[in-house]
Amino acid sequence: MISVYIKLLVLLLLLILAPFLISICFVAMKMAISLYRTMASLRTNASSQNIFVVILRFLENFFGSMSTGVGAGFISALLFKYSTLGVENLYNLESCLFVVFPYFSYMLAEGFGLSGIVSILFTGIVMKRYTFSNLSEDSQRFTAALFHLLSSLAETFVFIYMGFDIAMERQSWSHIGFIFFSVVSFTLTL
């Protein structure tokens, strides 16, 4: 019952603060994933490890994943800068390679036992800054439209899932004040 109210409050906050929160949430989520992996390895290896070893493992996981992502991003930037993929009808190949590089970064990081999601985050940051400007104009338009489509679909699926989850739970209408506050806040955001 309380989880429904928490979900509604989170949904409301996402609608109001979405542009600002998205960048902060990605970084916090990536840090949480690295910290979870560190703590999970600590739990499976129940020995008398001190806090410095835990911190060292966390930093190793995070900075290793970050380095893998940045490295893959710079390799893609160099590839697109010095190759001649932008000729005539090869913009499809350029766009496909642009989409494959984050997956390469993910697989490389997972192969090293690091966090692939953190690696993808930093690959995306580097590729947006350096690789995207090295694409041909047709490839830039196509990849921008493709990623806009994919992000809209992902956002739609998340909100559909949240809607189904809220609708399928048993509801209790005993908190009229909270419901009124939510409706007024949502109306004010429109």
Q: Report the C-alpha dihedral over residues 108, 113, 115, 116, rounded to 10 degrees.
A: 30
**Alpha-carbon span 97 to 50, nearest angstrom:** 44
DSSP 10-28: HHHHHHHHHHHHHHHHHHH
Place of tokens 């309380």: 2
Find the range with the poorest average confidence among 67-71, 81-85, 140-144. Answer: 81-85
pLDDT, one tens digit per residue, over 23-58 is 555 556 666 666 666 666 666 655 555 667 777 877
DSSP code, position 178: H
In the prediction, which pLDDT does 1 show? 47
Q: How many CB atoms lie within 10 A of CB 78?
A: 13
In this structure, are residues 125 and 72 in contact, taking their beta carbons and an 8 Å threshold? Answer: no
pLDDT, one tens digit per residue, over 110-169 is 899 888 888 888 998 899 888 888 888 888 888 889 888 888 888 888 888 877 777 777
Q: How many CB atoms lie within 10 A of CB 187?
A: 8
**Alpha-carbon span 36 to 125, nearest angstrom:** 23
In the prediction, which pLDDT does 17 show? 47
Q: What mean pLDDT comes out for the span 178-183?
A: 76
Q: Where are the domains of the chain?
A: 2-189
At 186, give phi and psi (nearest 5°): -65, -40
State how far the alpha carbon of 103 is from the alpha carbons of 21, 38, 119, 173, in Å: 25, 23, 10, 46
